[in-house]
Structure 1
């Protein structure tokens, strides 16, 4: 599949990755669907589906509490400016998940990285972009219907994400190793992807065009460290045995992609990581004119499954 000038590969290694993880668990590099769905040109429809799914997961009492919380945030009309598109749609999706958890009696932190939204780092390290994006998404529901505040805060967070880039550049060689590892690097890419969509939203607020949008053209480091929870050389024999017992798709992928230059399990992790990077590049490279042209508000009241009490 091709979008613009960026080639987007098919996910033809998933069968092999599943077998590899059974032998040697390694991080799941797959982006959270909220990112890919809410920052796409189909965001309004995706948000409506997500809103319905979240409400449907609640019992009557939980749904009542959930709806009451939304109404206390957005008021009687229940409309959210630009709520159906881009970063505002993403903020609403995160809010729906948060309020649903609270309605079920779960504790949800109101600071730090938004749980589940980024690639999980088992050591708990997240680049500064993750914290900045999380702050903005938590803020948006409280300012979405205030055009002046939205414009001011969006511009401020665009600058903050630029500062986050500078922080990484200033780490120095002794501290840069973390940013050459698989999970932190992907989370930085998520931050840059979000920053681009934040700029798109700012252009919408200014009634501007995509001509003013500037993309980051940075490339990942040449050497990337992959953290596997096993000794890949020792586990390769077990992996090969699992492949031989697997279906034809897995065996075909093994024959097509695996070489003898390095451990097979390490190659699988690298392939999945690169596949994810290509998919993210496809999303980032979508038609900017089309994305900036989106203007859809979101009607919480009209799409509510529970009673939007007056």
Structure 2
């Protein structure tokens, strides 16, 4: 977390108070991103499937189920659908179909809405990942195509990340871009795991055959270093390297924030827990709160993927068994 004395829930509470005054960015990506790419993705996917179906009227649910049967057939089984990138693609598909049956317009191109951190500019890898996730449901049960397309998209994703590496100065200073790049690295690792899983290969074999590079890192050599089993990821000290785009006058907003702190016992308690170390005076309190939230995101423990154990996970997803409407009607 950003401050060992500041639990994430307290940082989030202070951020909610601060955002009522200054609408600084929400640095959290969709929870689907981490939930579906984790080792325990099957339960969150099942819960999401249930929640989406429960939100629909009987007629909408009928159309929703028909859309799934059209994509996956009457068997309703999705190969490796309970884990990793296929699980994430299913979660995206559920949301997309639900919007369509409710009569909402849904784009079939561009970044998948709300999956990454919202920005005016999305780097190339966001588009590559979005295209892949939209395609996966249509090839999930075709082993040959899944292998071919996953290899192709992995190469494209590595190219995207390499291109970003050429502009380290911009990467290391932009708050939202930095997180979206970090999510790209995380997805690339998950895509590698999926390819290893479907080809029954090892991590070492993939590196030899694909020439897998270490993707770009967010920060500089002097940053704090986090090391996982799969690769080294440097996390920058944001007060030195990151520009927080707060969309307001942070000095004036900080004054208003400090005036609001005493108005709520919960806010006072959170503020007391989240004081800077060693009496350090932040640039402004709004910058400091943004920093806490930003660090909680980049230090998400779910980013620490044990690649070797993830490769061995195998779990299909049974759409029919979890359907609210009788599948064979």
Structures share fold, TM-score greater than 0.5: yes
CA distance in 1, matches of 2:284, 2:184: 31
CA distance in 2, matches of 1:265, 1:284: 26
Local SS of the residue matching 1:136:
helix
CA distance in 2, matches of 1:269, 1:220: 16
Question: Match for 1:204 among 185, 197, 202?
Answer: 197
CA distance in 2, matches of 1:66, 1:143: 19
Aligned pairs for 1:13-28 (under 5 A) are 13-28=11-26
Once the two structures are overlaid, the 10-residue window that deviates more, 54-63 or 286-295, is 286-295
Per-residue Cα deviation, 1:65-107 (whole angstroms, up to 9, x for no partner): 0000100110111101000000000000000000000000001
Question: Match for 1:278 among 286, 290, 299?
Answer: 299
> Number of aligned pairs?
297
Q: Say whether the 8 Å CA contact 1:64–1:306 is kept in structure 2.
A: yes
Once the two structures are overlaid, the 10-residue window that deviates more, 220-229 or 28-37, is 220-229
Specify the alignment match of 1:4 in structure 2. Answer: none
Local SS of the residue matching 1:219:
strand
TM-superposed CA distance for 1:288, in Å, is 2.4
Matched, 1:195 2:194: no
Per-residue Cα deviation, 1:40-86 (whole angstroms, up to 9, x for no partner): 11111111111111011100100000000100110111101000000
In the superposition, the TM-score normalised over structure 2's length comes to 0.84
Q: Say whether the 8 Å CA contact 1:243–1:250 is kept in structure 2.
A: no
Matched, 1:163 2:184: no
Specify the alignment match of 1:228 in structure 2. Answer: 246
Per-residue Cα deviation, 1:127-184 (whole angstroms, up to 9, x for no partner): 111101100000100100011111111111111111001221335x8xx536621111
Local SS of the residue matching 2:275:
helix
Per-residue Cα deviation, 1:252-290 (whole angstroms, up to 9, x for no partner): 1343567324111111111110111001xx222133233
Specify the alignment match of 1:138 in structure 2. Answer: 134
Specify the alignment match of 1:253 in structure 2. Answer: 273
Once the two structures are overlaid, the 10-residue window that deviates more, 202-211 or 300-309, is 202-211
CA distance in 2, matches of 1:153, 1:285: 26
Q: Say whether the 8 Å CA contact 1:26–1:228 is kept in structure 2.
A: yes
Q: Say whether the 8 Å CA contact 2:154–2:191 is kept in structure 1.
A: yes
Specify the alignment match of 2:109 in structure 1. Answer: 111
Local SS of the residue matching 1:94:
helix
Q: Say whether the 8 Å CA contact 1:244–1:251 is kept in structure 2.
A: no
Question: Match for 1:76 among 67, 74, 77?
Answer: 74
Instruction: Report the CA distance shift for 1:22/1:253 in structure 2 as closer, same or farther (over 3 A).
Output: farther
Question: Match for 2:319 among 275, 296, 300?
Answer: 300
Q: Which segments of 5 or more consecutive residues in structure 2 lack a partner in the other structure?
A: 208-229
CA distance in 1, matches of 2:97, 2:313: 27
CA distance in 2, matches of 1:81, 1:13: 39
Q: What value does the CA root-mean-square deviation take over the aligned residues?
A: 2.2
Q: Which segments of 5 or more consecutive residues in structure 1 lack a partner in the other structure?
A: 2-6
Q: Say whether the 8 Å CA contact 1:161–1:195 is kept in structure 2.
A: yes
